[in-house]
Chains A and B, each alone.
Chain A
């Protein structure tokens, strides 16, 4: 079958790869309907998460039709239309049972790598390096889904493929950020990053009763999407002093909750961007925390900062003094999607969560390299490039 593969740093290929097979009783084989690029893929593409091998199949955000079921699968049948959470959780360990699904003890067959990096292993993730389990990704005609009774969810009739697709990762990641940051009614919430995840974090914050939600980015089309499809306010960080604007918008306090949905390749117009780039390229830090720093400085005293963008290792010039002296709560997480997908699909079925606008460019799988190029360079207003393996 055809698959979009990582060939090396900044090299994407389309190759013939073997079709997956059921290896465990709780597996399904899914015929992929749609599979979408994610901003976190760009960290793999750029070599910032180096546990990739040439030939690895990319993609972790997807939906499709069940093609085969393992003998231990009870919730799915051949022909079911499902969306699959990008993280792999067993549903049986203490973390899964406590709704911390991305921290699953059993979903990563290569725990030694992340234990060496972070002191503990977390769950696995499709198409996201050998550090996260070495699972083949979804940019292919078929994908094997382990623990399918836990991670695959039937799509309600009336919810389009294009909408349900983002219940795989962007929406539940945004949900994770707003919910785990404990947004409260009346809060002012600032979200750095107007990509799919940032937009969904903003939407969840609004649904949780935030009085004011402000999304920060520099791309006009993305900020326009926020205003039009999410209903939140926006700031262009190349045009305004973000902390100053946020102070004014929050009565001089600063936002109650600051959600960073940018991650390790943050951009900024100031000199610290050059500083962070140089440090990162010299491997003196693995991640550029520009937006995270700003979130910490901007946050009100006693507020919460949530790191939702993907970070992989070490950052420099981390404002620990602000965290400590302002009594901030600092949290982070990959998505605990299994917890949120049922709610998201229900809201999607009632048109209270809309995501189709994120799929700005839909194309066949063999245009994968071009899709990633457009996505990376934000060409033609590309917010997400979506692949349709069936053509």
Chain B
């Protein structure tokens, strides 16, 4: 890289926060190719690498069991030996939470998405993978860092599942 281009590169790279903000925007507002979204039916679905006989709708892992009758569940074989499809949806649905509501922690659909992911891990692996506390050095208080922290905090609930 030439020095002039390197300078430009550094400037632009510092603008990398814009990409973080873009991801945050996608996570929060549901725009873009990988937007936070759900089908009109409200079902969230994962395929679990287990036979249908190994998944008991009356004895789901704790993260889903805690919902009780607040969710509906649907279990059926996945095509082509890809395991079992486990689908859940809120019994009372009020649409996707707004961006500000999500930032304030009120996101029923996101909470259910996270619970479904945990249930899949518990069935397949027997544990929910924890990453924190991960060793790290001094965190700088920057806007880009704050934005990324918000993205990471939201990430277990976000996505297109």
Contacts and interface: CB of A to CB of B under 8 A. Distances in A.
Classify the interface of chain A: helix, strand, loop or mixed.
loop
Contact of B8 (A47, A130, A281): A281
Interface residues of A, number: 69
Interface in B15-74: 15-20, 23, 26-27, 32-36, 46-47, 49
Interface string B121-149: 10011110111111111111010110011
B127 A26 contact: yes
Contact of B120 (A97, A105, A124): A105
A96 to B, nearest CB: 8
B140 A282 contact: no
Contacts of B35: 116
A93 B83 CA distance: 9
A112 B127 contact: no
B155 A110 contact: yes
Contacts of A20: 134-135
A92 B49 contact: yes
B151 interface: yes
B131 A133 contact: yes
Given A92-B49, A97-B49, A116-B32, A54 B140 contact: yes
Contacts of A62: none
Interface in A82-107: 90, 92-94, 97, 105-107
A109 B139 contact: no
B157 interface: yes
A72 B127 CA distance: 10
Contacts, number: 198
A113 B149 CA distance: 12
Given A112-B159, A134-B152, A92 B125 contact: yes
B26 to A, nearest CB: 4
Interface in A23-51: 23-26, 46-48, 50-51
Contact of B156 (A5, A109, A117, A119): A109
Given A93-B124, A107-B129, A116-B34, A17 B83 contact: no
B17 A50 contact: yes
A50 B117 contact: no
Nearest to B83: A94
Nearest to A96: B49
Most B-side CB within 10 Å, residue of A9, A20, A72: A9
B156 A112 contact: yes
Given A20-B134, A54-B139, A134-B134, A94 B49 contact: yes
B158 A106 contact: no
A56 interface: yes
B140 A47 contact: no
Nearest to A92: B124
Given A53-B136, A93-B49, A111 B117 contact: yes
A50 B144 contact: yes
A188 B121 CA distance: 43
Contacts of A93: 49, 124
A321 interface: no
A50 B157 contact: no
Contacts of B134: 20, 57, 134-136, 144
Most B-side CB within 10 Å, residue of A19, A56, A140: A56
A94 B46 CA distance: 11
Nearest to A21: B133
A192 to B, nearest CB: 18
A37 to B, nearest CB: 17
B12 interface: yes
Contact of A46 (B13, B46, B148, B158): B13
Given A5-B137, A19-B135, A121 B159 contact: yes
A53 B148 contact: yes
Contacts of B160: 115-116, 119-120
Interface in A248-285: 267, 277, 280-283
A332 interface: no
B48 to A, nearest CB: 8
A218 B47 CA distance: 46
Nearest to A17: B135
Contacts of A50: 13, 16-17, 19-20, 144, 148
A282 B12 contact: yes
Contacts of A5: 136-137
Most A-side CB within 10 Å, residue of B19, B27, B156: B19
10 contacts: A18-B133, A47-B12, A94-B49, A105-B46, A106-B124, A106-B125, A109-B131, A112-B156, A116-B27, A116-B36
For the complex of A and B, list the 9 residue pairs with the smallest distance between their C-beta atoms, beginning with the closest: A47-B13, A112-B158, A50-B16, A115-B159, A15-B137, A110-B155, A55-B137, A112-B155, A112-B159
